[in-house]
Amino acid sequence: MSRNPITRLGGYTSSTLIGLGAFFRFFASLLARSGAAVRRPRLVSQQIHFIGNYSLLIISVSGLFVGFVLALQGYYTLNRYGAEEALGLLVALSLVRELGPVVTALLFAGRAGTSLTAEIGLMKAGEQISAMEVMAVDPIRRVLVPRLWGGIIAMPVLAAVFSMVGIMGGWIVGVQMIGIDAGVFWSQMQGGVDVWNDVFNGVIKSVVFGVTVTLVALYEGWQARPTPEGVSRATTRTVVVSSLAVLGLDFLLTALMFGN
């Protein structure tokens, strides 16, 4: 049935608002039950292991290559102005302020987010969620809350690992391969990186991205139709929605944190 553009726009707007409302209600219900994570920290630590440890390899390898590329590109540009001694600072600021949190969040969405969505969706399809409910166990408390906090804790740690390995990659290319003085490389970094303005703001970003990606992944899994097709669609939506949300939020946070 064809509808006029205004009706379509109205329908799209109202369904988006309803979707956002449902999403924030879901978030609120998880926060309201978060005491469960404090009472049973073992469930959270299991999720940190599952979400964090299993993402370490992809995060570390990606961080290393991003550091390599940053150092190379930075050197080519800085060299034109005779400012190659600032390479360490450029690599560190780029990683700590932006690339660390953002690239980690995008990789996190692809590695851990998809796995969370598929796990929850398949638990629904296999009646595991229903089984918990009839066993008088609240699946939000038992399944979702530990995963949310696991993701929130794991994400900043992974972003820190990414930045650290990236800086090492920059050092390998800049100092070991190109031949920039090691003392200059590290002292520029030490003098130019501010703990509060740069490192702390980067940590805040990674926490916000951790909440966003984990929440989107859990929501999509929770809302997934309990069929193979439904789980597959939900998994795709997790990557698309959380990646766009991370990039949008990054712009917003950068404007707030580093603007005048």
134 vs 255, which CB is nearer to another protein? 134
DSSP string, 60-117: HHHHHHHHHHHHHHHHHHHHHTT-GGGHHHHHHHIIIIIIHHHHHHHHHIIIIIHHHH
Contact call for residue 133 and another protein (CB under 8 A): yes
Q: Which stretch binds another protein (CB under 8 A): 62-70, 134-142, 167-175, 230-238?
A: 134-142
Residue 43, CB-side half-sphere exposure with 13 Å CA sphere: 18
Neighbouring CB atoms inside 10 A of 233's CB total 16
128 vs 232, which CB is nearer to another protein? 128
The least CB distance from residue 97 to another protein, in Å, is 37
Q: Which stretch binds another protein (CB under 8 A): 10-18, 125-133, 209-217, 230-238?
A: 125-133
Single-letter amino acid, residue 35: G
Contact call for residue 33 and another protein (CB under 8 A): no
Contact call for residue 1 and another protein (CB under 8 A): no
Contact call for residue 69 and another protein (CB under 8 A): no
Binding mask 137-166 for another protein (x = CB under 8 A): xx---x------------------------
Closest CA to 75 of 56, 53, 94: 94
Cβ–Cβ under 8 Å, residues 87 and 74: yes
Contact call for residue 127 and another protein (CB under 8 A): yes
Contact call for residue 122 and another protein (CB under 8 A): yes
Residue 29, CB-side half-sphere exposure with 13 Å CA sphere: 14
Contact call for residue 126 and another protein (CB under 8 A): yes
For residue 76, CA distances in Å to 27, 138, 194 come to 46, 57, 25
Contact call for residue 135 and another protein (CB under 8 A): yes
How many residues touch another protein (CB under 8 A)?
15
Binding positions for another protein, rule: CB under 8 A: 119, 122-123, 126-128, 130-131, 133-138, 142
